[in-house]
Structure formats: structure tokens, C-alpha cells
Structure 1
Amino acid sequence: MPKKSGVSKGFAVAFVVLTVCAIAGMISMMVVYEIQTNGLNMTAPPIITTSTPPPPPVMRLPRSLIPESYDIILQPHLYTSIKEEVNVTTPNQTLTFTGNSTVHFQCHQDTMYIFLHSLGLNVFAPRVIDKDTGNPITVRSVKHHKDVSHFLEINVDGRFKTGGNYSLFLAFEGEISEYLQALYVSKYTETNKEAVNETIEERFLAATNLEPTSARRLFPCFDEPDMKAAFRLKVIHRRETTALSNTRPSPDSYVLDEDWKLTSFYETPKMSTYLFAFTISQDDFTYIDSPASQVNIRTYARPEAMEAGHVEYAAKITAKILEFYEGHFGLKYEMKDLDQIALPDLEPLAMENWGLITYQEGALLYEEGVSSWLHKELITSVIAHELAHQWFGNQVTMKWWNEIWLNEGFATYMSYLAVDHAEPSFQIKEKLIMDDLHTAFEEDALLTSHPLSTPSDYVQTPGEILGMFDAISYSKGAMVLRMLANHVGEDSFDNGIREYLRVYQGRNVEQGDLWELIQNEVDQKKFNIPSFMKSWTTQIGYPVITINTTSGEIYQKHFLYNSSVVSSLWWEIPFKYTTNITLPKSIELVIDGPEVKPMDELISKKGEWILANINCTAYCRVNYNPENWQRLLSQLETNPDRIPVMNRAQLIDDAFNLARAKLVNVTLALNSTRFLRKEKAFLPWESAVRNLGYFVLMFDRSEVYGPMQLYLRHQVEELYNFFKNHTDNSTVPENHSLQHNQITAIEVACFSGLLDCIEMATAMFADWMNTNPTNNFALPSTDLAKWNLTTCRHSQSIDI
């Protein structure tokens, strides 16, 4: 498409006038809104304090018996292939499994009871053996508790003696789930065109997904993360199938009969029950090896995906990331093998089972020429996250689910480093960080948030445990670790982490264990890590720092969207600040209390601005007096590159969210987007588009909507023209950050009615229709340009 000619000077002047009117219109609407809401009689505000409610009933296993190992035999009675042929009877699918387990345990305190977990299993034939004497112990009763403890209580004659070694055998049967939990069934179809009668085969596979508390649905076990044990598994499965588990098959695997075979696996290291895993799939579910890796890495997928080469990228990048982690942590991957498998169904995206990582197909498979280049980001990030767990979570595990952030926060933080190492051309480390920062900010500004480290008594039931798997544990956990690393120095932080992994390898930890080993790398007189981290991990929320550059006063308060709430919480905040005179030099300041503190160095000279929290290393928002805000916004419009790109994005995000919390005027938030007309970087645009989404929803049916579109059209035009040549020629930039911004430019331009964008989209859509004549799709009879705008505005893929 030829480039459009420029507008006339007169039209340009009119355009500027209309833009000013657009901003004025939006401001007017917001002023009216604030006047109306200010007159409402609000409910008395709640007060947040550090006091806590009484703990719920204790639901934990007693520590009188501690497991050492399990011997498990499992047989899923599942047909993995069902053929549909004319005049041929097909078997009915079976969704049951049977098995037995022997758990070997030691007594740490005299008792006559065995308490372990079992849910949804029919358990029978109990046998207890005193391993020190070889004598059986009579079982008096077996009882399933009918509450959410899921306890299986076994009462015996006599007592288990402290220091004694015992075993418990149980047979059981259960149902294979159709809901992606415990042992579940997944299916896909395959057409066999070489058969005499062409057949459609419905293929099934079985897989496990046990985190956090579903191991008890598979076999009776001590299903708590610090009850680590070794596992020896035997799987009985159909002869045309392959079984995988945490470790490689052992030589004592054999065929049982014409229908079944048994695969035995080597013993695992001691690990938590939620990491136990196996899959059963058709023999044609094959693998490729990762190149040039000291660990045997095999990546499995369906035959069609394997033949098409969709597994090659994941196999290559896995080896690079695993090698990076081994070097960075100074600790080798503990297993000899690492299998990863793409499953048709899995929730969540992936699961870090030790030695057998499972993935949704979309999180592992990449199709050259079809998949988006940006899809590689997802694959690389997910693999990096799961491989980090092979150390943080699998080797060193939190003691209880109340500190799951020690697993997930670390895996998230470490994935930034691994992706940047494995794919430096992506240049997306800053994007990954900002995504998690804003995700955490959004959830942590609500009264429904929770601390990173919640008292263990408050996380007891399976539902409460599941509730800990959220943006706080993942994203806030990563941000708090990043803040600590920046404050103590990355070398000291990394040395502390290496020692943490070495000292606690194979063990369970609490967060205090981590602080102690990082503290060993830092002068305690200068910086007390446990004291510093306490407020960040044991309280909800985060602070907003307010700096008055006229008086030099600085203070903090708990940032909440509900501005009427009174909170007494405060944090020890490390942040760096700079001025427009000393950039790029910056000074670190620690605020260790809520009171106002006069800081002479924070008083601006004439025309000087101060920028705090350089590169957003502190987990907080920053507010300024109006004069400093204006100086910063003026700097953004005249020479934005003097302010780091992460801060350009964060100034927008802070302004909009401070307005949402009624700490600044909404006019400031809207004005913070003015500089975007000359901005090419993705992060500021992403921040603006995400935050403006609220205004689009609020004013979608008002007279402000038109001026809003006009304003956005004016702001995005230069960015769209920057990408115009790529877009018209159906190409994308090699830089991944620019790829993201190309998408943003097209979305905003078409949404706001930019003529070039509408014509481009219309032409490309028509071309696609012409090259795909079988598409049974009819356009509405209305104007095509209007249809494109409506489609863009209401498409789920558009954020604004």
C-alpha cells in the first residue's frame, strides 16, 4: 500500500485544537464524577492493624511417624486407543485404577495410631509389619475421617516404639479423573488413512497432576511437603503403551501377558509427594534428545507434532537453560535424566515434577512459519520457570504451603535471568519484570490480599492451600527478591542463594533459613536482613512514598484502592533517586518508618526534577508534589530518554493508580500520556493502554468517547507510521519488544479510527478471504470501516 500524504498546516492546527478539546472533555467528565461521588455518605472505614483473627482448627498430620520410602504398584485400566470401524464393536472405556502401596516409616514418638491421607479411594487389606523384628502387628480398625482433613486413621494392637522401623501395606482402587486432577485422562484423535477401512482413532493417555494435595487421591500417603520420602514405582499398563515417571525404567520391566506389561522405575531421591508423577501414552508418543547436554534430556509429544518438528525449539532451549542454572547456582541438576512431555490437557500451563516435567502443548510446541515469534517468549519463560523449580522446590522445599512463595517467587525471579541468557536477542527482561510488578501491584492493593508468608495455622485446608497459588506468591515474591538482590548487591545475593541451595539440599526450609545465609554475605551492622524483610513478607500490601521537593519532606503510607481505609502498616523501603543534574548517577535512600522526614538533598533547585525508585527496584509506588510531577512530565515531552524506560512506564502507572486511589487529580494521570506521541518503546505504551482501558469502559456510551478516540488517534499516529512499512509488507521486527509494540500500534490505531490502519486491516482481511474461499463468513451490510472499528473495540485480544 503506498504511503499516505501529509496533512495541511491548517488541518494540523485544527487537529491540535480538537485534541485539546478532547482532553478538556475527559477532565470535565471526571470532575463531575468526583463531585457526585464526594457527596455520598460512605460506610465508616475499616482499620487495618497488625492484629490477626484466631487460628482455624489444626488439620496437620502428627509427627509421631515419619515416612522413609514408598513401594507403589499402579494399574490404570484405561484403553489408550479406541478405533471406530463399521460393523465392529468397540470396547467401552474404563476409568478405574487399582494398586497397592507399602510405606516404610520410622516412629519418632510412641503411638498406637497411623495417620496419613486418603481421598476418594477404596482402601482395604491393611498389613503392618515391625521391620526390626519381622513380626506382623494386628490392625484393629481403619477409618476415613469425613472432614476436609482427608485423614486415614489406622489403629493397631500395641504401640509403635520411638526409634522403631515399620511398614504399612494397603491395597486400593479409585477413579481416573476427567477433571485434570490426580490421575486423569486426556484424549485426542488421529486418522489412520493406511487402514483397509479408514479409521478415526480416539486416543487416550493417562497423566498425573498432584500439586498441591492430590497425591492422596492416587495412593494413601503422608501428603505434606516436609514428609519427604523416596519412591519406587511399578506401573502395569497396556502393551502398546509407554510409561514415564520421575526416573528412568529399570531392567526388571517385563511383559505380563498378551494385554499387559509392567514397567519398573529406579528409586527417586527423597522428595515431596506432590512431585511424584507418571504418564502412560501410546508407543508412538515419541521423543527427541536435546543436543550437547550432559543431562539426558528427552522431549516427548504426539507423533504429528514430532514429525512436523514442533518439539525442536523446546529441546534446544531446555539444554541452554539447564546449563545456565547449573552454572549460576553452582549445583548440578540432581537427576541423570530429564523428561518433558507435551500433553493435550493440563492445568496449569506446566508442572515441575522432578525428572518428568509436564506441559500443556501450547506451552512447549512451536510451529515454524505458523506460531507467532512472540510464542517463543511463552515457551522459553515457562521452561525457565519449571527448570528453576528443579532447585527451588524440588531440591529445597518450603516446610508448609504458607510459604509457597519460596518455590514460586524464586522460580519466577530466576526465569528473568534464564530467559535473558538463553535468548538475549529477545531483550524482554524488563518486560517480564514489569508484567509481574503490575500484576502484583493490582492484587496487593486490595484488602483481600494476603502476606507472602502467612502464619501456618491460617493455611490448613486444601482450599486454603490452593488460595496461596496466586499473583502474590508468584509475582510479588519475585519482586521482593529482586528488591533484596538490588539492595544487598547481586553478588552477595547470588552467593547467599548458592549457599542456601547447598546447605538445605534435600531438606525443607522456612524463610528465616534463607535470610540467615544471605545475611552471612552482608555486614549485619549495616543491614539486618531478617528485620528488613519482615514487613515485606508478613504484611499485606505495599507503600506509596510521597516526596515533597519543595520542603524536602518524605513519608510513606499503605497504598490501597479504597482510600477511606485507615492503615497502620509501614515498611522499611530502599529506593534510589536521581535528579536531572546528576543523571545517570543515583543515590540510595532507606525509609524506615512512617513519619515525615525532612531531607535537604530532596529539595529541588530551580527547574530541577527528582526521580525516585530508579528502574522500579523497590516494591512501592511514588507520589510527588504537583511541581515535581509537572517537571517530570515536561521532561518526558522534551527528552524522554533522560528517564529510564521502566520509569517512563511506571510514571504512567503510578499516576493512573494514584488517581484511582484519589491521591492525585485524574488530570495528572491523563497528562502523563501526552509524551507518547513521540514514544517508540513498548513499556510506556503498554502501561498507558492498560490503564486507559478503565476510561474506555467508563465512557463507552458517553459524549467523551469520541474525543477520547480522537486523542488516542493523534497520540498513536507517529508510532503506527514507525511500523507502517513492516505492517504493510506483513513483516515483524526482529526485536521482540518492538514486535509487542507493533501489535499495540495496530490495535490502538484501528480502535481510534486511524484511516491508514483501517485501510490496511480491510485490505489484509479481503486478501485472506480471497485466499481462503472455503471460509463461510459474511460481513455485516454496514460500512466496512465502522465494522472494523467495532470489531477492534470489542475483540477480547484488545486491552484498551
Structure 2
Amino acid sequence: MDHVAEGIQTVYGEPALIADGRGEYGLQKGIEILAVMEEFTGIEYSLSKLDQISIPDDWFTFGAMENWGLVTYRDRYLLFKEGLSMASEKQNVASIIAHELGHQWFGNLVSPLWWTYIWLNEGFATYFEYYATSVVEPTMRLMEQYVVLSHQNAMESDSLRSTRPMTHYAQTPGEIIALFDRIAYDKSGSVIRMMEHFLTTEIFKRGLNIYLNNMAYQAAEPNDLWTGLQAGIDEINPNIIPEPLADIMDTWSSQAGYPVVTVERNGERIILTQSRFLLLETTHDLDTKWTIPINYATASNADFSNTLATYWLKDARDENTGITVDENDWIILNKQETGYYRVNYDENNWRLIINYLNSDDFEKIHVLNRAQLIDDALNMARSGRLSYDIVLDLLRYISRETDYIPLRSFFRGLTFLNKHLLNSDKYDLFQRFVREILQKAYESLGTADTGEHTVKLNRINVLTWLCRYDHADCLQATHARLSALVPEFPDLQSTVYCSGLIEDTNIETKFNSLYNRYKSNDIEYLERNRIIAALGCVRSETQLNRFDIFQK
């Protein structure tokens, strides 16, 4: 092993990789992220050294492990080189380092009393995975990406009857391993993010400092966390919440699933109801209730910046919320999708929102709420709570959208729609619809590897779907590049290799060229992985039958 070091931190890896400079980024981000964690928690890192070691992928079962003072990673999650790694791979390196260094406080300094409370480790590590990375790599927009990658990801699996609560007893090895799921990571991190927003960052930071100091070098349970945070509340603003924090948070940590808040308009009055959201059941007899922080924006007051709760919904139905809005104004609940719940509206309000989204003012709706509207609408329709006529009318606004965050929500929903329309007689019409609404994004992004981080991520998604849906310009660009075997920037390799194999034009030549590149000795393992994935994009039955070559 060889290494690079600075201060108390060292990155170890295979000598050739370290000599090639691939440990420098991980070392620098480790130094910066450690400082972020110390500032946020108000507690210095506990040990006199912090080593990070890169282990070949096929030697290491886990992605990374937060051993105190000696963090281990697969090569791909610690080593990075500009011009060789993709933007998404760079993001993975930074965010996984942040996750593991978050564990130095949440997991190592303070450990859970039992596996039942593993979310005290993984929820906070997930939260800081995004927060700390957003500080050291601001152009990555990680706290906005949190919503579309983690929050909405959690809701997808947490919408089934089979889901479990965050606090869930386990005893056997199999039960314990099963706890390391989306609930422990994504849901718990999302609930923590919700709490930070309704408490304010000042109170949240102070409460965590008290918790970590109280429980340092000990084992904790959720009540210890609530006690620390409540002390921060009492010290700074006792009126920020309507009841003890433990009572509010018990509804989120001890109950499975999450609510859908339904908004009804009666003149200017707003009526709210809550019920558990189940993806496969439109109605059910479950009477689960949460204490839900409600905030909202309207067309007349489109302020999405203040995410404090202005109202708390506790009952199944409340006709006396005190919330009023002009009959011609839309109302949107859950600003910046900070609350861990979905929102459905009556048809009139959906139509008001849709009309606004299809106007030149659509960007006045916060980018995270545009992502929320897409995700909530698609899931309302999927669960039978909303007409697809409304959803498709809403999706037409995407013909104006070019931002990565809302489009990422759309592509999540598109995966489901594609699967269920694939063999229908409407599939061609749906493909045309998608090509049309993504045309502006395609023209804005182009096919050159330029722009900031999320622009590159967005370009990959847009080109991938448009080429899959036979967008003529997209296919022409990728076919030309693949036929010429022009060396690609890493962010475009996967898209060019995959999309270039979609049609049968010169398919054998292109397939053989890629396969020969795959076999060459001087190819990087990162590109080899991209090629083997791309070869599966071919539609030619003749070429697909050649996959037995990889078994020889």
C-alpha cells in the first residue's frame, strides 16, 4: 500500500493508484468534511489520526465501513481522478466520505443501545452525507438532491403494508441485517431533515451538541436524543413547537409508513385530512395518525423560503385550520418538501397549479416543490387517488423545465410508466409525448460534456431516455460517435455506448468494436464496467445471443 497524507489524515491505496493521484481528492474532501462535522456538532474529532484506506472492489463486501479512525472503502468509493471518473462517481466519493465521517460522531462517539435503534447511526450519517457534501461541494446541490434521491426513495418503499417503523426490535442475525434498509438510511435521514426544518438549524445544532456531550462514549436510545434536542428548544425558543418534542417524534419513529395530507377547498377555507399512504390501496381501515408540521405557499404569496411549521395537523380531519386562500389562488403545502409526507389536492387546486406551471411564471414555484408536485401526482395516480388526465396535464409543463431536480423526479416516475405501457397499443403515443416534453431540455443541454455538476447529471438522464425513445437527433449523435469510436469524456461514455447500440445500423461492427475495446489490456476498469453494461442495450437478437462470449 502507498499513501498520501496531510495533518492527521491519511489515504492509503494500491501504489499505482496513489502514484496516479487518485487519492488526492478523497484526502482533501476528508479534511474539509471533518471540519464541517466539527463546526456543526460543536465537538472536535475524538482521535489523534484518521486513516482512510481503499480496498479492491472484489476483496471488500461492503461499500465502506466507519471503523473509528480507520475507515475502509471499496476503490470506487474513495479514489477519484478528474477526466477519468464520471460526475456521479465524484459525487459518490464525496458523499460516502461524508457518510462515514458522520459516523465518527453518530455511531462511534455515541452508539445505539441496541440494534433496535440503528437509525440513530444511519439516519444521521445519511443526513450528513448530503449536508456536509453540500458545504464542501456547493455546485453539487446535495441538499436539493436529497429530496429526489433519498427522501422520495424512502417514500417509495415506505408506502407498502410490509414496511417497518424506524424503531424496530431485532434479535437474530437475520433480523439485524434486515434493519439496514431504506428505513434506517433514507427515511430516518428524511425525518431528521424534517425535524431540523421545523426546529430551525440553530436549535437543531444546539440540541445535537447537548445530546452528543451528554451521551459521549455511551450507548443511546431515541429518548436521549429527544432530551438533548428539547434542551436546545427550551434554551432558545420554547414556543417553536406546540408540545414536547418526544410526543411529536414518537408518531414518526414508532409508527410504520407516512401520511398523505389531502387539501380540500371550501370557498376560501382550507380543510385538511390525513391518512396513511399505501401505494397499492386507495382506501383502507388503518387509523394511524401523525403530528404533521404544515407550511404552505400561495399564488399571492409564493414564498417558499420559510420552512417553519405554521400549523400542526394532529387529527384525521380538521375543518378549522384557520388557513384561508383566495378562490383564484393555488395553495401548495410542504415547502421544499421538508415534511415527510405526500400532499393531494382537490381537482380545482390541481388545475390552478397546472395552469400556473404552464405559464411563464412557473419558476416562482420552488424547484423542490416542482419535484414534489411531479412525484406526488404520479404516486397519487398510481395508487388510484388521482386521475391520470390530471397527471399528464401537469407533466406537460416539463416542456418548459430544464432543471435537474424536477426532471430527476420525472424520470423516477417514468420508469414505472414505461414498464406498464411497454406492451400497450398506446406506447408509441407515450414515447412521442415524452420526446416532445423533453425537447427543450435536450436543446438546452446539448450533447457536449460541458456545464456544472448537475447539468452533467441531467444531460445523462435526458439523453438516455430520449435515445431509448428513438429521438432522431439523439440517436444520430450517439451513433456517429460510437461508429467513429471517438474517445468520450467519462460522463458521456455510458450514454454513447448504450444509445449507439439501440438501432441495427452497422450493429455488428459497433458491437465488435466495443467488445474489442472491452478486451483490451490498457482499458480502465471504470470504462470496462460501462462497456459491459452498455452491451446489454443492443436490441439485435443476433447480438444478444452472443453474450455467451463473456462466459468463455
Assess if the C-alpha contact under 8 Å between 2:4 and 2:11 holds in 1: yes
Q: Which residue number corresponds to residue 164 of structure 2? A: 450
Give per-residue Cα distances to partners, 1:298-333, cap 9 Å, x unaligned: 111011111111111101111111112112211111
Q: Which residue number corresponds to residue 632 of structure 1? A: 353
Q: Which residue number corresponds to residue 184 of structure 2? A: 473
Q: Which residue number corresponds to residue 440 of structure 2? A: 718
* 1:742 maps to 2:459: yes
More helix by share: 2
CA distance in 2, matches of 1:376, 1:722: 24
SS in 2 for 1:435: helix
Give per-residue Cα distances to partners, 1:28-77, cap 9 Å, x unaligned: xxxxxxxxxxxxxxxxxxxxxxxxxxxxxxxxxxxxxxxxxxxxxxxxxx
**Alpha-carbon deviation of 1:786?**
13
**Structure 1 702/753 Cα, relative in aligned 2: closer, same or farther at 3 Å?**
same
Assess if the C-alpha contact under 8 Å between 2:148 and 2:409 holds in 1: no
After superposition, residues 83-94 of structure 1 pair within 5 angstroms as: none
SS in 2 for 1:503: helix
After superposition, residues 277-676 of structure 1 pair within 5 angstroms as: 285-290=1-6, 293=7, 296-344=8-56, 345-454=59-168, 458-523=169-234, 526-550=242-266, 552-563=270-281, 564-584=283-303, 588-602=310-324, 604-638=325-359, 639-676=361-398
One-letter amino acid of the structure 2 residue matched with residue 498 of structure 1? N
Q: Unpaired runs of 5+ in structure 2?
A: 489-496, 511-532, 539-552
Give per-residue Cα distances to partners, 1:442-493, cap 9 Å, x unaligned: 1110111111112xxx411011111111110111111111111111111011
Give per-residue Cα distances to partners, 1:422-451, cap 9 Å, x unaligned: 112322320133311111101110111111
CA distance in 2, matches of 1:421, 1:703: 48
CA distance in 1, matches of 2:115, 2:342: 29
Assess if the C-alpha contact under 8 Å between 1:286 and 1:301 holds in 2: yes
CA distance in 1, matches of 2:24, 2:502: 43
**Structure 1 780/401 Cα, relative in aligned 2: closer, same or farther at 3 Å?**
closer
Assess if the C-alpha contact under 8 Å between 2:211 and 2:228 holds in 1: yes
Assess if the C-alpha contact under 8 Å between 2:139 and 2:454 holds in 1: no
**Alpha-carbon deviation of 1:527?**
3.3
One-letter amino acid of the structure 2 residue matched with residue 299 of structure 1? V
Assess if the C-alpha contact under 8 Å between 2:66 and 2:100 holds in 1: yes
**Alpha-carbon deviation of 1:528?**
1.1
**Alpha-carbon deviation of 1:769?**
6.8
Q: Calculate the aligned-residue CA RMSD, in Å.
A: 2.4
**Alpha-carbon deviation of 1:397?**
0.5
Assess if the C-alpha contact under 8 Å between 2:501 and 2:537 holds in 1: no
SS in 2 for 1:452: coil
CA distance in 2, matches of 1:527, 1:793: 57
**Structure 1 306/665 Cα, relative in aligned 2: closer, same or farther at 3 Å?**
same
CA distance in 2, matches of 1:663, 1:339: 51
CA distance in 2, matches of 1:437, 1:323: 26
**Structure 1 748/781 Cα, relative in aligned 2: closer, same or farther at 3 Å?**
closer
CA distance in 1, matches of 2:107, 2:502: 54
Residue correspondences, number: 492
Percent identical pairs in the alignment equals 31
SS in 2 for 1:548: strand
More strand by share: 1
**Structure 1 736/786 Cα, relative in aligned 2: closer, same or farther at 3 Å?**
farther
**Structure 1 555/793 Cα, relative in aligned 2: closer, same or farther at 3 Å?**
farther
Query: Normalized against structure 2, the TM-score is what?
Result: 0.85
Q: Which residue number corresponds to residue 545 of structure 2? A: none
Choose from 675, 681, 696 the match for 2:418. 696
**Alpha-carbon deviation of 1:709?**
1.1
CA distance in 1, matches of 2:420, 2:535: 14
Give per-residue Cα distances to partners, 1:679-724, cap 9 Å, x unaligned: 0111111111210222211121222111111111111111111122
Q: Which residue number corresponds to residue 51 of structure 1? A: none
**Structure 1 779/598 Cα, relative in aligned 2: closer, same or farther at 3 Å?**
closer
One-letter amino acid of the structure 1 residue matched with residue 366 of structure 2? P
CA distance in 2, matches of 1:792, 1:750: 13
Assess if the C-alpha contact under 8 Å between 1:716 and 1:748 holds in 2: no
Assess if the C-alpha contact under 8 Å between 2:449 and 2:456 holds in 1: no
Give per-residue Cα distances to partners, 1:527-555, cap 9 Å, x unaligned: 31010001100000000000112352211
One-letter amino acid of the structure 2 residue matched with residue 627 of structure 1? N
CA distance in 1, matches of 2:502, 2:176: 49
SS in 2 for 1:593: coil
One-letter amino acid of the structure 1 residue matched with residue 95 of structure 2? S
Assess if the C-alpha contact under 8 Å between 2:147 and 2:337 holds in 1: no
One-letter amino acid of the structure 2 residue matched with residue 618 of structure 1? G
Query: Normalized against structure 1, the TM-score is what?
Result: 0.59
Q: Which residue number corresponds to residue 518 of structure 2? A: none
Q: Which residue number corresponds to residue 528 of structure 2? A: none
